[in-house]
Amino acid sequence: MVQNTTSDTRKPITFFLPDFLAAWPYERLVHPSLGSVDVESASWVNDHHLFNEKAQKSFDASLFGLLGCLIFPLNSRNFCRVGCDLANAYFVIDEYNDVADPEVAGQVCDTVMDVLRNPYKERKSGDKLGAFMQGFWQRALALTTPGSACINHFVHGFDLYMKSMIVEAEDRETKRVRPVEDYLQLRRETFGAEATISLLGFGLELPEEVLSHPVIKSMTLAAMDLLCITNDMHSYPVELARGIAFHNIVTSIIHEHKLDVPGAMAWLERFGKHQVETFLDGIEELPSWGPEIDANVLRYIESIGYLVRGADAWSYESERYWGKKGLEIQITRLVTLSPEAEESQEGFLTKEELRVAMDA
C-alpha cells in the first residue's frame, strides 16, 4: 500500500536510511582550512543581508561552509573558499526558489545567469542576489585560465540548474509528481550536479576530449545520481514537513512502484549501489591521454569521489536535515517520521519576502 507523502499522515513511519555508499572507497576527508575559509564564506553571506535575522541564524546553523570543506578537501585554500561560497550560493538559491512562483523563479534565473555571463558588469543598486553571486564567480574565475573548457561546462551546468528551478516551480504550483526516470533527469539539473562537478576541473585544465569521453561521462552521470539521491534521502523528512516532498526521488518511487516509504528507501539503496558499481568500474576502463593529463584525470576522479562522500557526511554533521540526531542516525540508520515533527518545519523566507528581495 502506498504511504501518504503529504503532511496529513497521522501514523509514524519508521524506515532504515539507505547505505549505498558502504563500498565507496573514498572516506570522509575535510579540508585543513576548515575554521577559516568557512567563516569567511559565512561572513560573505551575512554581509549581503539575504535573509531576515531569524532566518539567517537558521541558515548559519546548517554549516554550509563545512559542506564546502568536506566536498572539496583536496584543493588549495583559495579553491576551498570558492567551494564554500558555491555551497552557500546553492542553498541561498534553493531557499529563494522553494517559495517562488514560476515568474519570480524566472527573475532569479535571469539575475544569476547574467552574472555568470557578465562577471565584471556593474550590478544595479539593490541587486542583492546579483552582487552576492558576482563575488563568488569572480573568485572562481581566478582559479583557472580564461577560455578553459571547464568554464563553459560550469556555465552550461549552472544554466541548466537555474532553468530547472523554473520547471520545479511550475511543478510545485500543480504538485506534480514525476516518474522516476523523468524525475532523475530533472533532479540532476535542480541539484546543480553538472556545475558542481565541473568546478572540480578548475585549475586542472582538462581538454574537452577528456571531459566528453564516454567513460568520463558515464562516471560523471553515476556520480551526479549519487549526489542527487543522497540529498533526497536526507531531505525527505524536511521536505515532507514543508509540503514540497513531491520533488523528491522517494516520492517518485512511492508513486511509480506502489511502495511505502520503507520500500522506497530499499529500492533507492539498490539503485544507489548500482551507480556506485558504474563509477568504480569506469576507473578501470579509462584510456590514457599521456602522463601529464592522466595525472590530472586521476585527480579529477578522486575529487569527484570525495565530493560524493563529503555531501553524505555533511548531511549527518549539519543540523539541516536531522537536527542534533544526525550522527546517531548515521550509526543506527533508523528514522521515524511523526506527524508532530512534520508540522514544525519552516523555510527561511516567505513568498512576500522573496518578492521584496527580487523587486528591490
- Asked if residue 4 has pLDDT above 70, the reply is no
Classified as helix, coil or strand, 178 is coil
Classified as helix, coil or strand, 103 is helix
The residue ranking higher by pLDDT, 162 or 4, is 162
pLDDT tens-digit profile of 291-350?
999 999 999 999 999 999 999 999 999 988 999 999 999 999 999 987 654 444 455 655
Enumerate residues 6+ apart whose C-beta is below 8 A from 314. Answer: 63, 66, 67, 70, 71
Q: CA 297, 302, 308 angle in degrees (round to 5)?
A: 130
pLDDT tens-digit profile of 31-76?
999 999 999 999 999 998 887 777 777 777 788 999 999 999 999 9
Name the pLDDT band for 132 (thresholds 50, 70, 90). Answer: very high
| Mean of pLDDT values over 266-278 | 98
Q: What is the pLDDT of residue 3?
A: 41
What domains appear along the chain, each with residue ranges and CATH number?
13-359 (1.10.600.10)
The Cα 321–Cα 93 span in angstroms is 18
| Mean of pLDDT values over 245-273 | 97
- Asked if residue 1 has pLDDT above 50, the reply is no
The answer to whether the predicted template modeling score (pTM) of the entire model surpasses 0.85 is: yes
Decide: residue 135, CB within 10 A, 0-12 exposed, 13-18 middle, 19+ buried.
Answer: middle
